[in-house]
Amino acid sequence: MSPSQPSALGRPPISGPVVSADPSGQFPPWEPSRSVVSGEPGSKEDEVRLSLRIVIHLDQTGPPGDGGVAKRESTQQGMAQVLSVTQGAVSKVLSRLVAAEVVRHERHHVRGEDRRVRVYFLTARGEELAREIQYRFGLPSRVPLRGQTA
Amino acid sequence: MSLTKHHPFRGPTYATGFLLAMLVVALVLAPALSRLQSDLRPLTSPLSADDLSCQGGEYQTTHLLVLAGGCQAVFTVMYGQNLSHWSATGQYNFSFAIPWIVEITPSGELVRLASPLDPYAGTANVTVGPKEVNLSSVESMNVTSASGNWTPDDTWAGSGPQWSISSQALGTTTVDVVFHLSNVTANASANATENASYEVKFDVGVSGWPWASSDDLLGFGLESLGAEGAHFAFNSSSRTLDESWNSTGRTFASLVFGGLANVTYPAPPVGHASVGEQVGLFYAASPARESVALVTFGGVAGNYSSVSYDPWVVFSPTPPLSPSSSSSSGWPTWIEISVWLVAGVVGVSLVVSILTRGRRLRLEGEKLVEGMRRVISEGADTPHRPR
């Protein structure tokens, strides 16, 4: 998907500097430190990095589609799997982002689950943050994240 | 990338609230547990270990247990909901003993006294009839000369009344005490049930008394040992010796003194002696858990060959489980207050924890947003960011 194409959310692409997906091999600033990846107690910087990744990730996944069926990647477990971090680390950061009204959660059906589960979406404030990230770092609206294939 | 160190608000959390609540529980319940342990401490059994070879008797119904000590003229009435364990019911006991039989002059001077022999010389047994159960003790006592004054409402501090008693026996008298559980549906089993009167009547008989003068009066001491944590007080209007809890003041048992006694002369007719105003009390201490009532029989000529008197004991209609539970209709007890206090502290701690957790999460969330914005602004100028 090129940056000029509309995103899956139907939004027009955000204009700005466009960067490749880390051609230098250097991690962008939102990449996790090892402590978060391993599940050990991370620093505040680790939590900020994970917050950035969660915001970007939720911007990519978007809200549930028609029929109210959400993606597994919008659940805590799915996020932990996609972002390669522990579910505890995701839960901790999500609770703070929810309290800061960056993220909201609802119960929706997810494919493969019998019961409705809690899924997370960006609020208006979260979407604003996501747009700032995309603008500053020239990210397209759907960027392959770690654990995802483009 | 540098992040400013921040110190988010740290209010009481669930853990601190829980610890605070547990501390309060420990502080509040420590005296309660101590008190409970004290309440459950068994009282002195009417049968000591050395006396177990003596012939005694007992009878038990749903809520009453009456013990007749074979080696001592002591009757113990226990009352409660769980009579299977002595320590659980000992606190409700009401023990009676006849420590002396006395002859006093009309002016109140002591002239003769009989006290239980040592070793005890008597028998105790239980007889079960179709409508009642009787527990009886028949005991012989030596009668000696004595001097001293009977002064009611005295307090003796363990030494007993200050009487001078001769060691030379002037004769013997026979004292029989019979407990009647007349409301029992007696079937000679431990599962018998009694009706709701909760009364235990008992007769005290004295016969064969060697009188010093036909003008004198006869009387006997009725020693009562109450429950631990309770005290006795004589109620002159109701003519009862009331046993009440020290903590609540609630009366749970009353010894009712009958107003009349039957006396028998060597030749008919049977006379009736009045005992009205002659009931007096010695108290072991104040408040008295132990007391001795001296019941004298007057209004008739002396020289009677026997006297029969039947006071009775009335227990509160509802068998109490504990002194605290007996006061549920009155002021809340300190245990109830403690429970409410602990519940209140726990509740407040939970509410405070929930409120402060939300505020703490919001503050930490704002810090995360602030950190993200900082990374975004710094990241745009970071040299390693490929352009």
The 10s digit of each residue's pLDDT in B314-359 is 766 544 443 333 333 444 566 777 888 889 988 998 988 888 888 8
**Number of independent structural domains in chain B:** 2
Identify the structural domains of chain A with CATH numbers, from first to last.
34-137 (1.10.10.10)
Q: B373 — contact with chain A (CB < 8 Å)?
A: yes
- B387: in domain: no
- Select from A51, A127, A131, A139 the residue whose CB has the most chain B CBs within 10 Å, as the one to mutate to test that interface: A51
Q: Does residue B316 sit in the same domain as residue B340?
A: no
Query: How far apart, in whole angstroms, are the C-alpha atoms of residue B187 and residue B168?
Result: 47
Assess whether pLDDT exceeds 80 at residue A56: yes
The 10s digit of each residue's pLDDT in A4-55 is 343 333 333 333 333 333 333 333 454 544 444 344 446 778 888 889 889 9
Out of A19, A52, A100, the one facing B366 most closely (by C-beta) is A100
Q: Do B384 and A26 make contact, defined as CB atoms within 8 angstroms? A: yes
Least confident of A80-84, A122-126, B116-120, B289-293: B116-120
Structure confidence at residue B147 as a pLDDT band (50, 70, 90):
confident
Tokens of residue B220, six digits: 């006997």
A70: left (phi over 0), alpha (psi -120 to 50) or beta: beta
Question: Which of B283 and B33 is assigned the larger pLDDT?
Answer: B283
Q: Does residue B109 sit in the same domain as residue B229?
A: yes
Calculate the alpha carbon distances from B58 to A85, B126, B136, B161, B316 in Å. Answer: 76, 7, 10, 31, 22
Query: Closest Cα to residue B368, out of A11, A75, A67, A96?
Result: A96
Query: Closest Cα to residue B228, out of B218, B243, B241?
Result: B243
Structure confidence at residue B366 as a pLDDT band (50, 70, 90):
very high
Query: How far apart, in whole angstroms, are the C-alpha atoms of residue B238 and residue B232?
Result: 14
Q: B337 — contact with chain A (CB < 8 Å)?
A: no
Query: How far apart, in whole angstroms, are the C-alpha atoms of residue B75 and residue B198?
Result: 16
Q: Do A48 and B366 make contact, defined as CB atoms within 8 angstroms? A: no
Phi, psi of B80 (to 5 degrees): 175, -175
- Measured between beta carbons, which residues in chain B are less than 8 angstroms from residue A24? 384, 386
Query: How far apart, in whole angstroms, are the C-alpha atoms of residue B54 and residue B140?
Result: 16
Tokens of residue B27, six digits: 């502080």
Domain that holds residue B371: 14-34+336-378
Apex CA A85: angle with CA A90 and CA A1, to 5°? 90
Q: Do A98 and B384 make contact, defined as CB atoms within 8 angstroms? A: no
pTM greater than 0.80 (yes/no): no
Q: Does residue B200 sit in the same domain as residue B227?
A: yes
Residue with tokens 């988010």: B8
Assess whether pLDDT exceeds 80 at residue B116: no
Least confident of B206-220, B344-358, B371-385: B371-385
Q: What pLDDT, on the 0 to 100 scale, is given for residue B186?
A: 36
Q: Does residue B269 sit in the same domain as residue B137?
A: yes
Assess whether pLDDT exceeds 70 at residue A81: yes
Burial, B375: exposed, middle or buried (Cβ in 10 Å; 0-12, 13-18, 19+)? buried
The per-residue pLDDT of chain A, averaged, comes to 70
- B301: in domain: yes
Which H/E stretch holds residue B96?
A: strand B94-97
CB B79 within 8 A of CB B315: yes
Query: How far apart, in whole angstroms, are the C-alpha atoms of residue A74 and residue A64?
Result: 9
A63: left (phi over 0), alpha (psi -120 to 50) or beta: beta
- Measured between beta carbons, which residues in chain B are less than 8 angstroms from residue A59? none
* Closest-CA distance of chain B to residue A64, Å: 25
Q: Does residue B287 sit in the same domain as residue B194?
A: yes
Q: Does residue B229 sit in the same domain as residue B151?
A: yes
Q: What pLDDT, on the 0 to 100 scale, is given for residue A126?
A: 92
Instruction: Report the share of chain B in percent with pLDDT over 70.
Output: 48
Out of A24, A102, A129, the one facing B386 most closely (by C-beta) is A24
Cis peptide before A17 (omega within 30 of 0): no
- B302: in domain: yes
Assess whether pLDDT exceeds 60 at residue B1: no
Q: For residue B165, how many C-alpha atoms fall within 13 Å in the half-sphere facing its CB? A: 17
